[in-house]
């Protein structure tokens, strides 16, 4: 049983939104494309490979945080009887499974509500959980984060613990991140909790390498966006005339990724009927991944109606999973 809120019939609505966002982004004086479009089937596979790269410390660091502190987290969440464990952007839930095993060993007094925009991912996850953690109550929801949280707010009563892991909050601009956390807060009641995963400030070299790996997987991930545009929107990007370029701004804590045109060229898009001009070495901005200080997270939490409860970290202090109280 899977709840699908993504009211898409044949995907035409999705394609129209993609076409609109790409046409808008390529028409700007400083071209940009939204990072949310990285994750088609190929992009999702490349991201899985990124998570296994020696340079991409984020996933291993957060895995360590959850593995080290899973008992403390489980007692914390299960302290007051039945609750819903809601997982925003659950994906394959590799890290969440650490918590799920710990919680089911203690009591079965919760259910698990993974939310993801990918219906395929939610079908697979439901199946794998039935095998790996039999008896776990799972209700997967397919939809956008806020849409799904609003649905839950109206259809599932009782306390909630919401997980937003993986430093996905870092993809938002600071102001957008605040609006997003405020929206989450509006869907929660006093006493509910948010476990927020954030990548912390650290040696800029370490951060930069995580987004510019030696094997070129991150480059392929970034360039895949152009392949996707060619395929789904009838574009004629010559992908081999673009290169991945990453830089880190240590004052803003902003990791920035670009696709740079190595030559002057024009690109045509069937979906818009327009041509887009590139000068030699002109860049398209494709992603920001923000890195945080603990003070920043605390400030952000307060602005959004949350209070910092507990900060869990790995040994290196590369990553933090922070319990925020609504």
Considering only residues 171-190, where is the footprint of ligand AVJ by CB under 6 A? 171
- One residue of 19, 22, 33, 50 binding ligand AVJ per CB under 6 A: 50
* DSSP assigned state of 201: P
**What's the min distance (Å) between Cβ of 46 and ligand AVJ?**
9
Q: Is 289 in the site for ligand AVJ (CB under 6 A)?
A: yes
Residue 320 Cβ vs ligand AVJ, minimum distance, rounded to whole Å: 14
Task: Give the residue from 168, 223, 181 showing the smallest Cα distance to 51.
Answer: 168
State the nearest-atom distance from the C-beta of 316 to ligand AVJ, in Å. 17
Q: Whole-number minimum distance, CB 47 to ligand AVJ, in Å?
A: 6
218 binds ligand AVJ (CB under 6 A): yes
Instruction: Check binding of 170 to ligand AVJ (CB under 6 A).
Output: yes
Q: Is 166 in the site for ligand AVJ (CB under 6 A)?
A: yes
Q: How far is the CB of 273 from ligand AVJ (least distance, A)?
A: 31
Whole-number minimum distance, CB 206 to ligand AVJ, in Å?
A: 13
Output the residue with the shortest Cβ distance to ligand AVJ: 289
Angle (CA) 303 207 243, round 5°: 110
Cα distance between residue 181 and residue 306, in whole Å: 9
Per DSSP, the residues of 6-66 read ---SSSHHHHHHHHHHHHHHHHSSS-B--GGGG-SHHHHHHHHHHHTSSS-HHHHHHHHHH
Q: Out of 168, 186, 230, 265, which residue is the one contacting ligand AVJ (CB under 6 A)?
A: 168
Identify the residue among 77, 110, 112, 211 touching ligand AVJ (CB under 6 A): 211
Decide: 14 and 21 in contact? Cβ < 8 Å: no
**Site size toward ligand AVJ, by CB under 6 A:** 12
> Which one among 87, 287, 314, 321 touches ligand AVJ, defined by CB under 6 A?
287
Residue 299 three-state SS: helix
Q: What is the DSSP letter of 302?
A: H
Helix (H) or strand (E) holding 69: helix 57-77
> Phi and psi of 153, rounded to 5°?
-55, -35
Closest approach, Cβ 17 to ligand AVJ, in A, equals 19
**d(Cα 164, Cα 198) in Å, to the nearest integer?**
9
Kindly tell me the burial class for residue 205, based on how many C-beta atoms sit within 10 Å of its own C-beta (0-12, 13-18, 19 or more). exposed
Taking CB under 6 A as the criterion, the residue among 22, 26, 33, 58 binding ligand AVJ is: 58
Q: Which residues bind ligand AVJ (CB under 6 A)?
A: 50, 58, 166-168, 170-171, 211, 218, 221, 287, 289
């Amino acid at each position: 049983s899977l709840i699908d809120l993504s009211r898409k019939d044949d995907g035409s609505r999705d394609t129209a939104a993609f076409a609109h966002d790409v046409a808008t982004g390529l028409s700007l004086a400083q071209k940009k494309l939204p990072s949310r479009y990285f994750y088609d089937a190929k992009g999702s596979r490349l991201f899985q490979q990124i998570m296994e790269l020696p340079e991409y410390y984020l996933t291993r660091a957060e895995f360590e945080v959850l593995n080290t502190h899973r008992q403390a987290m489980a007692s914390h969440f299960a302290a007051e009887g039945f609750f819903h464990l809601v997982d925003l952007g659950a994906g394959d839930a590799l890290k969440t499974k650490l918590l799920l095993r710990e919680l089911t060993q203690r009591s079965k007094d919760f259910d698990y509500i993974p939310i993801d925009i990918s219906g395929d991912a939610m079908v697979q996850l439901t199946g794998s959980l039935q095998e790996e953690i039999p008896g776990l109550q799972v209700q997967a929801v397919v939809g956008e984060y806020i849409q799904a949280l609003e649905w839950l707010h109206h259809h599932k009563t009782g306390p909630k613990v919401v997980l937003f892991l993986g430093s996905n909050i870092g993809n938002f601009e600071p102001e957008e991140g605040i609006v997003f956390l405020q929206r989450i807060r509006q869907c929660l009641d006093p006493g509910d909790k948010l476990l927020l995963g954030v990548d912390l400030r650290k040696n800029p070299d370490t951060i930069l390498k995580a987004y510019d790996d030696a094997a070129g997987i991150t480059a392929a991930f970034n360039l895949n966006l152009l392949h996707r545009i060619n395929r789904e929107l009838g574009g004629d990007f010559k992908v081999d005339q673009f290169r991945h370029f990453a830089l880190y701004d240590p004052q803003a804590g902003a990791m920035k990724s670009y696709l740079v045109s190595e030559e002057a060229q024009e690109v045509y898009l069937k979906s818009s009927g327009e041509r887009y001009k590139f000068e030699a070495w002109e860049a398209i901005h494709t992603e920001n991944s923000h890195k945080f200080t603990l003070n920043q997270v605390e400030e952000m939490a307060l602005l959004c109606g949350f209070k910092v409860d507990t900060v869990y970290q790995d040994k290196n202090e590369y990553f933090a999973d922070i319990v925020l109280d609504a």
